[in-house]
Amino acid sequence: MIRALAPLRTITDHEEQHRRDRERIAALEAEVDDLREQIRLLLAGGVQEWRPPLEFGLTGSEAAVLRALVGHDGVLTKQRMMDLVYADRPNDEPQSKIIDVFVCKLRRKLKPYALEIGTVWGQGYQMDRVSAERLKTWHVPT
Protein backbone atom coordinates (compact mmCIF):
# COMPACT_ATOMS: atom_id res chain seq x y z
CA MET A 1 0.00 0.00 0.00
CA ILE A 2 2.78 2.44 0.88
CA ARG A 3 4.49 1.70 -2.43
CA ALA A 4 1.26 2.49 -4.23
CA LEU A 5 1.14 5.93 -2.60
CA ALA A 6 4.71 6.81 -3.58
CA PRO A 7 3.85 7.60 -7.24
CA LEU A 8 0.98 9.84 -6.06
CA ARG A 9 3.35 11.72 -3.77
CA THR A 10 5.79 12.14 -6.66
CA ILE A 11 3.02 13.50 -8.87
CA THR A 12 1.92 15.86 -6.10
CA ASP A 13 5.52 16.99 -5.54
CA HIS A 14 5.91 17.66 -9.27
CA GLU A 15 2.66 19.63 -9.35
CA GLU A 16 3.82 21.70 -6.39
CA GLN A 17 7.18 22.37 -8.05
CA HIS A 18 5.39 23.30 -11.27
CA ARG A 19 3.18 25.75 -9.35
CA ARG A 20 6.24 27.36 -7.69
CA ASP A 21 7.96 27.60 -11.09
CA ARG A 22 4.92 29.36 -12.58
CA GLU A 23 4.89 31.84 -9.68
CA ARG A 24 8.60 32.52 -10.11
CA ILE A 25 8.16 33.03 -13.86
CA ALA A 26 5.32 35.48 -13.23
CA ALA A 27 7.49 37.40 -10.75
CA LEU A 28 10.38 37.51 -13.23
CA GLU A 29 8.08 38.71 -16.02
CA ALA A 30 6.83 41.52 -13.76
CA GLU A 31 10.44 42.47 -12.97
CA VAL A 32 11.28 42.54 -16.70
CA ASP A 33 8.29 44.82 -17.33
CA ASP A 34 9.49 47.13 -14.55
CA LEU A 35 13.01 47.22 -15.99
CA ARG A 36 11.64 47.99 -19.45
CA GLU A 37 9.73 50.93 -17.97
CA GLN A 38 12.92 52.18 -16.29
CA ILE A 39 14.77 52.01 -19.61
CA ARG A 40 11.92 53.81 -21.34
CA LEU A 41 12.11 56.59 -18.74
CA LEU A 42 15.85 56.90 -19.16
CA LEU A 43 15.55 57.15 -22.92
CA ALA A 44 12.52 59.43 -22.95
CA GLY A 45 13.11 62.85 -24.39
CA GLY A 46 16.84 62.47 -24.81
CA VAL A 47 17.38 62.45 -21.06
CA GLN A 48 20.35 60.11 -21.39
CA GLU A 49 22.22 62.88 -23.24
CA TRP A 50 20.99 65.83 -21.19
CA ARG A 51 23.24 66.97 -18.37
CA PRO A 52 22.33 69.56 -15.76
CA PRO A 53 24.33 72.78 -16.08
CA LEU A 54 27.46 72.76 -13.93
CA GLU A 55 26.50 76.14 -12.48
CA PHE A 56 23.75 74.39 -10.48
CA GLY A 57 26.43 72.60 -8.43
CA LEU A 58 24.50 69.33 -8.19
CA THR A 59 25.76 66.09 -6.72
CA GLY A 60 25.53 62.94 -8.84
CA SER A 61 22.37 61.80 -7.07
CA GLU A 62 20.73 65.22 -7.35
CA ALA A 63 21.57 65.26 -11.06
CA ALA A 64 20.04 61.79 -11.49
CA VAL A 65 16.80 62.93 -9.82
CA LEU A 66 16.70 66.08 -11.95
CA ARG A 67 17.35 64.09 -15.16
CA ALA A 68 14.49 61.76 -14.25
CA LEU A 69 12.13 64.68 -13.61
CA VAL A 70 13.11 66.55 -16.77
CA GLY A 71 12.68 63.44 -18.92
CA HIS A 72 9.33 62.35 -17.54
CA ASP A 73 5.98 63.89 -18.42
CA GLY A 74 3.71 63.72 -15.45
CA VAL A 75 4.22 62.49 -11.91
CA LEU A 76 7.28 60.45 -11.04
CA THR A 77 6.87 58.30 -7.93
CA LYS A 78 9.46 58.27 -5.18
CA GLN A 79 9.98 54.55 -5.73
CA ARG A 80 10.68 55.07 -9.44
CA MET A 81 13.15 57.84 -8.60
CA MET A 82 14.91 55.60 -6.08
CA ASP A 83 15.11 52.88 -8.72
CA LEU A 84 16.69 55.31 -11.18
CA VAL A 85 19.09 56.92 -8.70
CA TYR A 86 20.27 53.59 -7.29
CA ALA A 87 20.17 51.56 -10.52
CA ASP A 88 23.96 51.49 -10.74
CA ARG A 89 24.38 50.77 -7.00
CA PRO A 90 22.49 47.52 -6.33
CA ASN A 91 24.28 46.93 -3.02
CA ASP A 92 23.27 50.32 -1.57
CA GLU A 93 19.98 50.23 0.31
CA PRO A 94 18.37 53.69 0.01
CA GLN A 95 16.50 55.18 2.93
CA SER A 96 12.82 55.85 2.35
CA LYS A 97 13.13 59.64 2.77
CA ILE A 98 16.25 60.12 0.61
CA ILE A 99 14.29 61.29 -2.44
CA ASP A 100 12.59 63.94 -0.29
CA VAL A 101 16.05 65.13 0.78
CA PHE A 102 17.32 65.26 -2.82
CA VAL A 103 14.21 67.17 -3.97
CA CYS A 104 14.54 69.63 -1.08
CA LYS A 105 18.19 70.31 -2.01
CA LEU A 106 17.29 70.56 -5.72
CA ARG A 107 14.56 73.08 -5.02
CA ARG A 108 17.00 75.26 -3.08
CA LYS A 109 19.60 75.07 -5.87
CA LEU A 110 17.08 75.67 -8.68
CA LYS A 111 15.17 78.52 -7.02
CA PRO A 112 17.60 81.28 -8.19
CA TYR A 113 16.93 80.14 -11.77
CA ALA A 114 13.11 80.22 -11.36
CA LEU A 115 12.89 76.45 -11.88
CA GLU A 116 10.35 74.54 -9.83
CA ILE A 117 9.66 70.96 -8.79
CA GLY A 118 6.08 70.30 -7.76
CA THR A 119 4.77 67.83 -5.21
CA VAL A 120 1.75 65.71 -6.04
CA TRP A 121 0.66 64.62 -2.58
CA GLY A 122 0.47 60.87 -2.14
CA GLN A 123 1.99 60.23 -5.58
CA GLY A 124 5.41 61.80 -6.04
CA TYR A 125 7.03 64.75 -7.79
CA GLN A 126 6.89 66.42 -11.16
CA MET A 127 8.60 69.23 -12.95
CA ASP A 128 6.26 71.61 -14.70
CA ARG A 129 6.53 71.56 -18.49
CA VAL A 130 7.91 75.12 -18.73
CA SER A 131 10.76 74.42 -16.30
CA ALA A 132 11.55 71.11 -18.00
CA GLU A 133 11.70 72.75 -21.44
CA ARG A 134 13.88 75.58 -20.13
CA LEU A 135 16.28 73.02 -18.68
CA LYS A 136 16.40 70.93 -21.87
CA THR A 137 17.39 74.00 -23.86
CA TRP A 138 19.57 75.65 -21.22
CA HIS A 139 22.33 77.66 -22.84
CA VAL A 140 25.63 77.73 -21.09
CA PRO A 141 27.85 80.55 -22.39
CA THR A 142 31.08 79.32 -23.96
CATH code for position 26 = 1.10.10.10
Tell me what pLDDT residue 45 has. 47
Q: Confidence class of residue 8 from pLDDT cuts 50, 70 and 90?
A: low
Of 32-36, 76-80, 127-131, the one with minimum mean pLDDT is 32-36
Reply yes or no on whether the pLDDT at 32 is more than 90.
Answer: no
Which helix (H) or strand (E) covers residue 33, if one does?
helix 2-43
Residue 17: C-alpha distances to residues 8, 10, 27, 30 (Å): 14, 10, 15, 20
Residue-range definition of the domain harbouring residue 62: 1-142
Integer Cα distance of 34 and 71 in angstroms: 17
pTM over 0.75: no
In the chain, the number of structural domains is 1
Q: In sequence order, what E strands does 45-132 have? A: 76-77, 117-120, 124-127
